[in-house]
Structures are given as structure tokens and as C-alpha cells.
Chain A
Amino acid sequence: MINQTKILILILSLFFSGNYNPARAAFPSKPIKIIVHTKPGGAIDLMARQLAQVATKYCDQPLVVINKPGGSGLLALANTYNSKADGFTLLAFPAAFLAPIQTTDIGFDLNDFYYLACLTISPEAILTNKHSEISSLQQILDNAKNNPGGQKWCGPGSGTLDHLMAVKIWDKANIFAKWIPYAGGGPAVVAVMGRHSDVYVGNPEDILGREENLNIAAVASRDRLPAFPNTPTFSEFGIDLTNEVMWRGFAVKKGTPQPAIDYLENLLWQCSQDSLWQNFVKRIMVQPVFYRNETFTEMVQRDAESSRVYLDMAGFKIGSTPESAPKPVLVFAIILVLFLTGIVVYGKKAGKKITGTIVIAATGLGLAILFYYMSLYFPAPRVGTFVGASTVPQVWALFMATMAIILLRKYLKENQEPNRTSGQVKLVVKLILLITVYTLCIPLIGFFPATIFMLLTGMFVMQYRKYTAMISVTAAVMIFMFVVFYKILLVPLPMGNLF
């Protein structure tokens, strides 16, 4: 039964995969995309690019890295989830995905992915400033006992893998400290080097190039690492953290046909055994592994379970959408309508012209009220702190409101704006409409056809009529864009969904 369904899915997916060619039915029939959740140059991006390079030896089709950064990785996850389950979309899947996917209500979860293989692991570690009096794990523990809650621990973001690791260490070691989130691993390392924070939670390889200033206080592995023989493990201090790893693997959307899965699994296996790959992994100081689907899935589930426990301990709510202000758009619309009618009525009475400045200032005031209103529903500051998520937006909103009121008073009173000669507003509106149509067309008919349309109509709308010049310029621009952006810089421009 299951086999029949699978075969059916296979046939259907082949049928719908567009490039289906009966003569070359064997997977893969077209390039395979690797979706990466960071910008180019990030650690996992480099790994994916290296894999793509190694894979050229074993695969007839190229593997193309496509970066989909943003939304704490959710955009990359969503992109894979929304692609066809045909095996042509591979997702570079790091442990960092566990927290955002579980705390955000986004319409899919960890069970919607099939975990092909895990290729590298690196134990979690804590790093300190070498020249600080809180440098070794013993010093951290002693200091924390004498100064409960005073130590500053830092790492990238809040509710992230490293944050949860900190909470776990505090739990297991029975200490308590503050978590100071930074915009990324880099700035957090800088904070420890500048002694603005005491402990950085990351991985041993974060010390590379910074050996003069940093010290790895402990690693969360069973045994000492061969690369860092002088660094103790947590278990040597009686802290039960022997298998905390940051893993990086590859996944596809669940429902991908078995032949594709088998092919990709085998491809990853061949790459992982290649000496080029092995050298690369050694260079970035992580451990090469090859955990197949079963082991990998088990590890994902175990870590997901653990992250739920510690997300809860860190004060994050799982599965419940955060409370938000009711009907913000409606509120904004009502405020705007009220303001603008008020101003128009006032202008008529006082016999004053309503200028653009007044409308903009009134809209700004409305925006300030909207932001203030929405911020009232943000979570209250944590116990012990007095500044929360809403504080700064409220300060800026008040600043905005003040400036808007000052402008309104000034310009309503003085009516001092000189009468500008009215320009060709109609032409501008036409062009804005054209551009809007253009941007909406790009995902439908593809970037290149839409751009040809935009260039020709754009010139026409702007009253240019030398047709040979228009066509030759358009052709030149298209060739330039195709070569430079699409072929050389490999920007994955949309190719259109309609055809």
C-alpha cells in the first residue's frame, strides 16, 4: 500500500516537475538548489558552497547555492517548504533552526522535513577573556557562587541555540547569570574581548585567530578534543553536559520520492568521504561525521525536545501566538481619516491652503499613535529590568508626535509655503502605476520578459519616440543584465511561475 502511494507520488511529481523527460528519467534531470539561510560568506554558506564544488565530481548536474537570508532562518525554511517535494531543493539545515521553527506559528514544523544526513558537528563551548580574572571554568563557577546573577554571558540573539545552551549550563551547574544578546556571534566575541561581557557561548572554532585574547573555558563533549587537548570538559567539573553539539546537515521537504532521496543520500555520502571535503572540514575546525536519516532525525528530535524545555525555562512561550494589538490597520485608517477631515475643515474655515507638508505631518502623527497603540500590547519587561520591548518604540513615537505637532502648528498658522509651480504629477502617477505593474509581473512572467516590457513602456511613457534607439538600448541592457547578474554573479532572478 505504502509502496503504491509512493510510486503514485513519484509518477505525479515527475509529471509535474516541468522538465520531465522520459528519455532521462533518472534523477537528477536538472540542477539541484541548495537553500542557505545566511548571506554568502556565512559559515553554513561556505559549507554548502564547498559541498557544491565537491559534488561536481559525483553528479552530472550542478548544485547551485541560493541564499535566502532573513527571519532567523524562517524564510529559507519557508522557501523549501513551499517548493515541490521533488528532491531538487536541498536545505542546509543547522541546529539553529530548532528554536525559531518551534516558537513561531508559521504553518509548518520540524515534521515537514526529511533529514537526509548530518555532515558536521561541533561541540558547544564557553569562551572567556584570557586576561580576565574570570577565565577558567573554576573561576566562573566560584565567581558565580559569590556574585549570583552578576556575571554577564553573551552570544548571538535571544532564544537561540547558544542562549538555550547558557540556560542549560546554568541549570546543570546550579549557577545563575545574565544573558546579554548581541546581533551575532562576531559582536558577542568582541564584547568578551573588550571585557564588556564575561562569558561567550559558542563553539571551539570561534577562537581561531583570537588565541591571544580568548580562552576556551570548557567544552560540552564527552572527552577532550584532539585539537584542544588543554581545554577541560564540563564533565571534569561534575557538570553533566557530555553531548551538546551544534550540527549542520541537509534536509528536503517530506514527501520527496524515494529514488531522489536515495540518490541525494548517496551523493552526500560520496562527498563526505572526499578528501577535498575532509580537508575543508578540518580547516574550519569542526568534526566531519555522516549521520544517516535515522540517526539524524533522532538527534533533531532529541535536541528539539531539549530546546523546548530550556525555551520554557528562559521564559519563551511555545506554540502560542504572542498577544498583539487588535485591528491595527483599522485603527490607523480611522485616525488618518479623522485627522485629515479635521484639517480640511479647519483649512476651509480659516481660509488656508492645505499643503503637502501638513498632510505628511498629520500622517506622521497618525503613525506615531499607531506605533504607540501597538506597543501597548508588547510583553512587559522581565523581572528585574525596567526597560522592555515597548520602551524605545514609545520614546521614538513620542518624539515623532512632538515633531509632527510642531510642524502642524507652524504650517497651519503661517501658511508660509511658497506656491510651487505644479509639475507633471500625472506623469509621475502613470510611472508609479507602471512600476507597480512591473514588480507584480516579475514573479509571474519572469524577470527578463517583465524587464523588457518595463524598459520599452517606461521610455514610451516618458514621451521618447525614437524606436530604433529604444529597442537597441533595451537589447543592450538585457544582455548586460543577463551576463552580469544571472551568469556571472549567479543572482537567482525569478523565472516566472506562469509558464
Chain B
Amino acid sequence: MEIFTYLLDGFSALLGTDTIPWWQPSVVIMSGIMIGIFVGVMPGLSASTGLALMVPFTFGMPPMLAIILLASIYLSSAYGGTITAIAINTPGTPAAVAVAMDGYALTKKGQPGRALGASLLANTTGGMTGTLILIFLSFPLARVALQFGPPAFFSLAIFGLTIVASMESKNRGKAFFTTALGLLFMTVGLDIINAHPRFTFGTPHLFDGFSFIPALIGLFALGEILLNIENLKEIKSSLESFSSKMPAWRDMLKIKKTIFKSAGIGAVVGAVPGAGATIAAFIAYGEAKRASKKPEKFGQGSLEGITAPSAAAGASEGGALVPLLTLGIPGSAATAVMIGALTLHNITPGPELFKNNTTLVYALFASLFVGNLFMLLVGVLGNKLWVKLIAAPKAILFPIIITIAFVGSYAVKNSMFDVYVCLAFGILGWLLRRNGFPTAPLVLAMILGKMAETNFRQALLSEGTWTVFFTNPLSLLLLIIAVISLVWPLISEYRKKKRVEKTPNDAK
């Protein structure tokens, strides 16, 4: 297997080459991991914004160091996003919204250490699995990814939306209401097919619709703060007792199947250009709940509910590098920035790279493994720190989060308009959540709404008939899965109800 020889070359390149001193690659990976975690932790700095802001820094570096720096940042930003999601219900990245549901629930029970630890282990396991899939299966996976045309993307979006049914079993009516709200919001902006401005009230600020990141920060960071202030009895001295204890190995081993399955989902969905980590995380969450023996624990701090989206998000990064390296096309906003940065270094991502610059490609693979290990280390050490931070007085913590949230919103487009969007969505998030409307479906709908409409209309334009969604095999398959995902929770609840009704009879 020559692949292993290449991989060994890659690892040895990380220990220095003729032109790069031995210590530099490790330092670069370590700094990348730290920057990535920082970017993820900061509400508003998404992986793509963070990478974009770092691009000018790589100008002076040798190409290999530049590529591993960017990859390390990219790799760890997803984990960084889950930290704030779990600690203060403020997802630093969109994918972390799925982690917040159970992670924050566990924090509220006083066990943030357990939630953070489980998410960290799942994220690194997912990251490693994703990297292995990237190394060994990237070419077949790329072929599958190319099968996704407009009909299949539309069906994938519909499937994603049906996850709401299983995600929120208690409040299904309200969950679908916020889903509809998110879908409606996403129709604001220039219509992609006719370029007609819809619901923009004449301002070019809304031509691209609501900026997603500021809306997300508003809904979660601001909304959470407002809700907290409303409900806290003693706001000035809210020193709660939080435990920084990590989860027991026993508990983690019990759910290893969930973690690896979610990692698989993450890598495959991540490899489809345009699908991405967020959709992967939500699909993994829905699937974990469907397959779980204790679905009723989901939403209340279930370890499965935390690890499934974390593992999927971690693995999706390896997946997103598949189209980048095998086809030369970006799989996500963050990888698009990476392509731009690499072009400046005279590296053109694509299959040619495997032939002409093997060492570079395998050094990148090796750096993903090493990066995941570093991340695990930093995470374990950082766990105590995070728990200490959230135990700080809320009166100090909240104003800081508010100002950082606004800097983050501003940095997305350097626009004050986005700051106002953030504020408006913050008030909306507070109003919704204090009345029991879940906001995670709203985020999911905002991600999938545009994807659903764009691909629906592209498919109809291309084929000119409705039937294409059923004649395209991939699209049909996804639609069938969507129907199952929508109906399954109803059936299983019905069966459980029957069982409950039967039990007293048996007792008699």
C-alpha cells in the first residue's frame, strides 16, 4: 500500500523538511488549533470569517505551513463553537446549535464538565474518522457527491426539515411554527432565478437576505441573556456550583456506536458541496434520537444527543476537504476561502495536487491527525477553565457577551445593519423562548430554506416537469427517508402510548 508510505512521508514532513525547521510545523498546528478554538468560541466569528481574517497572515509563510495553519484553524473552530453552545447556550458556529440542545441542558443540571468532555471526545473521534475517510475513500465519495444535482439537493433540504418532527417531540406545533417563520425569513432578498427583490423594502442591505450569522447570534446569545436575566432571582451573585468532572469512560463506550455512525453521516454529508456541517449535525441528531433506546432523554441532557452532532460536525470537516482535493471545488464557505488563500501560494487544489505535490497533501492529512490530538489535549486542559468562566457573575459576563456578539455581527460584512439584525433577532429569540417556542428549528429552516427554494426552481427550470423529484433516484431515496423521518416519531409515540395503555390492563 503506497498510501501508507505517503502518509509516513507526510508525518515526517511535520517534523521538518530541508527548508522548514523541525519545530515550526508543530507550533503552527498548535497556534492554528488555538486560533480555531478562539474563532469558534467568539459568537459571530464563524470558521469562514475567521479563516478569511487570517488569510493575510499566511502571505509570508512557506506553502506547507500556510495550508496546515488554515486546516488547523478550520478543524478546531467547530469544537470551539460547541464550547459556548454547551456553556452558555450560545453556539459559536451554526452546527453547534444541534449540540446546544442537549449540551446546555446538561450544564443546567450542573454538569458542564461532563457535557464539554463528551462533546470534545466525540468531536475528536469524529475528526479522526473523517480524516480516515478523506484519505481512503475520497475518490469514490467525490463521485457520489457529484450525483447531487438540483433535485437531490431539494430532497435533502426537505429531509432536513422533517428532522424538526423528531427533534422537538414535546412541542411539535410550536416547533413547526418557528420552522415556518425561518422559511419565510429566508425568502427575503433577491430571488435567485429572476433577480427580483423580494420583501426588501427597497434597501440593498436586504438583497442577500438576512445575514445568517448575526441572526444566529441574536437568537441564541442575546436571546439567552435576556431570558436568563428575566428568570434569575439574584442576578448579582449567581455563583452556581458547576462540576468540571469529565464523563466516565463507561458512559462513553456505551454510546460508541452512535458516535461512529454520526461520524460517518458527517463525513458523507460534509463531502457534498453545499450541504455542510450544520445539516450533518442535525441529521446525526435526528438519527441518534430515532435509533436511541431512550429517546425521551433527548433534550434533557442526553449524552447521545451531545455526541451525535459533535461527532458529525467534527467528521464533516474531513468530508468537506474531499471535493476540494479531488475535484478542485469548494465544499463550504470555509473551504472556498482556503482555495483563495492557496491560490496565492501558487497551489491549485485539485487532483493534480495528489500527483505533483504528494508530500504537501499527505502532510495536510497528517496535520489533521496531529491537530485532532492537540485539540483533545487543549480541550481537556481547557475544560476547567470554561467551567470557571461560566461560574463568573452573570452581571459581568452578560455585558461582555453582548459587546462581543455585536463585534462578531459587525465583522461578518463590516456593516452596522447586521448589528441591528442581531439586536432584532435577539428580542425575537427572547419573546419566542419565554413562550416555549424552540429556536433551533428556526435556525435549521433558515439554513435549509434557501437551499430548498433555489434547487426546487433550478430543477424545474432544467427539467420542466414536477416528476423529476421522483424519477431522479437519489432524490427519490431522500424523499422516502424524509417521509420516514416525518412519520417515524409519530408511529413510535403511538406504539408507546398503546403499550402504556396495555400495561395497567396486564396488572389487573
Q: Which residues of A contact B (CB under 8 A)?
A: 39-43, 45-46, 49-50, 53, 66-72, 74-75, 78, 103-104, 106, 152, 157-159, 178, 180-183, 186-187, 189-191, 193-197, 208-213, 280, 283-284, 316, 322, 328, 355-357, 360-361, 364, 367-368, 371, 374-375, 378-379, 382, 384-389, 391-393, 396-397, 399-400, 403-404, 406-407, 410, 417, 420, 423-425, 427-428, 431-432, 435-436, 438-439, 442-443, 447, 451, 454-455, 458-459, 462-465, 469-470, 473, 477, 481, 485, 489-494
Residues of A within 8 A of B406 (CB): 438-439, 442
In Å, the complex CA distance between A159 and B427 comes to 37
A150 to B: closest C-beta gap in Å: 9
Contacting A67 at CB < 8 Å: which of B413, B457, B461, B464?
Answer: B413
Set of chain B residues within 8 Å of A387, measured between Cβ atoms: 456-457, 460
Give chain A nearest CB distance to B142 CB in angstroms. Answer: 10
**A178 contact set on B, CB distance < 8 A:** 461-462
Is the pair B351, A212 in contact by a Cβ cutoff of 8 Å? yes
Contact B462 A439 (CB under 8 A): no
Residues of A within 8 A of B330 (CB): 186
Q: Is the CB of B229 within 8 A of A462?
A: yes
- Complex contacts, A68 vs chain B, CB 8 Å: 413-415
Q: Which 4 A-B pairs have the closest CB atoms?
A: A209-B350, A209-B328, A458-B399, A40-B52
- Inter-chain CA distance A211–B356, complex, in Å, is 14
- Chain B residues in 8 Å Cβ range of A70: 204-205, 207-208, 211, 413, 415
Query: If A152-B462, A158-B192, A464-B393 touch, does A454 touch B403 (CB 8 Å cutoff)?
Result: yes
Q: A158-B195, A322-B197 are in contact. Are A41 and B204 (CB under 8 A)?
A: no
Tell me, yes or no, whether B411 is within 8 Å of chain A by CB: yes
* Max count, chain A CB within 10 A of own CB: residue among B201, B232, B235, B328: B328
Instruction: Compute how far the CA of A190 lies from the CA of B350 in the bound complex, rounded to whole angstroms.
Output: 13
* CB <8 Å contact, A477 and B327: no
A183 near B415 (CB under 8 angstroms)? no
**Is B431 part of the contact surface with A, judged by Cβ < 8 Å?**
yes
Q: How far is the CA of A389 from the CA of B230 in the complex (A)?
A: 42
User: Which of the four size classes fits the interface of chain B?
Assistant: 35 or more
User: What is the CB-to-nearest-CB distance from A77 to chain B, in angstroms, rounded to a whole number?
Assistant: 9
A378, closest chain B residue (CB) = B196
B177 touches A404 (CB 8 A): yes
CB pairs A–B below 8 angstroms (22 shown): A39-B413, A68-B414, A70-B208, A191-B150, A193-B146, A194-B146, A195-B146, A356-B434, A360-B432, A379-B196, A387-B460, A396-B184, A400-B181, A423-B434, A435-B222, A447-B407, A459-B396, A462-B235, A473-B400, A485-B411, A491-B410, A491-B411
Instruction: Choose one: B338, B395, B411; the contact of A459 (CB below 8 Å).
Output: B395
Known: A208-B328, A378-B196, A389-B194. A360 touches B435 (CB 8 A): yes
Whether, in the assembled complex, B329 has its beta carbon less than 8 Å from a beta carbon of chain A, the answer is yes
Is B229 within 8 A of A424, CB to CB? yes
User: Which chain B residues have a beta carbon within 8 Å of chain A's beta carbons?
Assistant: 48-49, 51-53, 55-56, 59, 146-150, 173-174, 176-177, 179-181, 183-184, 187, 190-199, 201, 204-205, 207-208, 211, 222, 225-226, 229-232, 235-236, 273-274, 323, 327-330, 336-341, 343-344, 346, 348-353, 393-396, 398-400, 402-404, 406-407, 410-411, 413-416, 419-420, 423, 426-427, 430-432, 434-437, 449, 452-454, 456-458, 460-462, 464
Q: Are A442 and B184 in touch, CB under 8 angstroms?
A: no
Q: Which of B328, B415, B453 contacts A392 (CB 8 A)?
A: B453
Q: CB < 8 Å: which of B196, B208, B222, B236 contacts A462?
A: B236
Closest to B427 in A: A432
A40, A104, A386: residue with the most chain B Cβ atoms closer than 10 Å: A40
Query: B346: shortest Cβ distance to chain A, in Å?
Result: 6
B45 to chain A, nearest CB (A): 8
B454 CB contacts on chain A under 8 angstroms: 183
- Contact A66 B149, beta carbon cutoff 8 Å: no
Closest chain A residue to B461, Cβ basis: A180
Q: Are B180 and A477 in contact (CB under 8 A)?
A: no
Does B273 lie within 8 Å of A75, measured CB to CB?
no
A71 touching B204, Cβ below 8 Å:
yes
Which residues of chain B come closer than 8 Å to A367, judged between CB atoms?
A: 181, 184
Q: Give chain A nearest CB distance to B36 CB in angstroms.
A: 14
Q: How far, in Å, is A470 (CB) from chain B's closest CB?
A: 8
Say whether, besides A375-B198, A379-B196, A491-B410, A462 and B431 are in contact (CB < 8 Å).
Answer: no
User: Is the Cβ of B184 less than 8 Å from the Cβ of A360?
Assistant: no
Q: Which of B230, B274, B323 contacts A427 (CB 8 A)?
A: B230
- Of chain A, the residue at the smallest CB distance from B451 is A183
- Give A446 Cβ to nearest chain B Cβ, in Å: 12
Contact A435 B462 (CB under 8 A): no
**Are A53's CB and B427's CB within 8 A?**
no
By the criterion CB–CB under 8 Å, are B177 and A464 in contact? Answer: no
**How many A-B contacts are there with CB distance less than 8 Å?**
312
Cβ-defined partner of B204 (8 Å) among A78, A186, A407, A477: A78
Query: Which residues of A have CB within 8 Å of B53?
Result: 40, 489-491
B273 proximity list for chain A (CB < 8 A): 186-187, 190
Additional 14 contacts, C-beta under 8 A, given A75-B415, A436-B423, A485-B407:
A50-B344, A70-B205, A210-B350, A360-B177, A387-B456, A403-B180, A424-B230, A424-B231, A435-B222, A443-B416, A447-B407, A464-B236, A464-B395, A477-B403
Q: In the bound complex, what is the Cα–Cα distance between A359 and B346 (angstroms)?
A: 58
Asked if A209 meets B348 with Cβ closer than 8 Å, knowing A40-B337, A194-B149, the reply is: yes
Contact B403 A451 (CB under 8 A): yes
Q: Are A432 and B180 in contact (CB under 8 A)?
A: no
B149 touches A469 (CB 8 A): no
- Chain A contacts for B207, CB-based, 8 A: 70-72, 74
- Nearest chain-B residue to A328 (Cβ)? B201
**Considering the chains assembled together, what is the distance between the CA atoms of A449 and B419 in angstroms?**
17
Q: How far is the CB of B385 from chain A (nearest CB, A)?
A: 16
Instruction: Determine the distance from Cα of A496 to Cα of B352 in the docked complex, in whole angstroms.
Output: 50
Contact (Cβ within 8 A) A41 B398: no
> Within 8 Å CB of A443, what residues of B?
416
Q: Measured between alpha carbons, how far is A436 from B406 in the docked complex, in Å?
A: 12
User: Counting chain B CB atoms within 10 Å of each CB, which of A355, A436, A458 scores highest?
Assistant: A458
- Minimum CB–CB distance from A18 to chain B (whole Å) comes to 20
Chain A min CB distance to B448 (Å)? 12
Establish whether residues A389 and B191, one from each chain, have CB atoms under 8 Å apart when the complex forms.
yes
Distance, CA A43 to CA B330, complexed state (A): 14
Which residues of B sit under 8 angstroms from A424, Cβ to Cβ?
Answer: 229-232, 235
**Is B183 within 8 A of A399, CB to CB?**
yes
Docked pose: A281 CA to B359 CA in angstroms: 26
Supposing A284-B343, A428-B230 touch, asked if A455 and B399 sit within 8 A by C-beta, the answer is yes
Contact B193 A158 (CB under 8 A): yes
- Given known pairs A157-B195, A182-B458, A208-B348, the reply for A458 and B336 (CB within 8 Å) is no
Contact B231 A209 (CB under 8 A): no
Chain B contacts for A78, CB-based, 8 A = 204
How close is A41's CB to chain B, nearest CB, in angstroms? Answer: 4
Contact A360 B437 (CB under 8 A): yes
Q: In the complex the two chains form, is B230's CB within 8 Å of A442's CB?
A: no
A492 to B, closest residue via Cβ = B414
Q: Which residues of A contact B398 (CB under 8 A)?
A: 458, 462
Are A209 and B195 in contact (CB-based, < 8 A)?
Answer: no
Question: Of A182, A189, A410, A463, which one neighbours B395 at CB under 8 angstroms?
Answer: A463
A contact residues around B226 at 8 Å (CB)? 428, 431-432
Q: Roughly how many angstroms separate A251 CA and B70 CA in the complex, as a whole number?
A: 32
B205 touches A396 (CB 8 A): no
Instruction: Tell me the complex Cα distance, A417–B431, Å.
Output: 15
Contact B343–A385 (Cβ < 8 Å)? no
- In the bound complex, residues from chain A placing their C-beta under 8 Å from that of B274 are 187, 190
Cα distance A187–B327 when bound, in Å? 12
CB < 8 Å: which of A211, A280, A316, A491 contacts B195? A316
- A357-B235 in contact (CB<8A): no
Name the contact of B174 in the complex, choosing from A186, A357, A459, A477 (C-beta under 8 A). A357
Q: In whole angstroms, how far apart are the Cα atoms of A125 and B439 in the complex?
A: 45
Asked, given contacts A428-B226, A477-B400, whether A388 binds B329 with beta carbons under 8 Å apart, the answer is no
**Are A71 and B208 in touch, CB under 8 angstroms?**
yes
- Set of chain A residues within 8 Å of B193, measured between Cβ atoms: 158, 181, 389
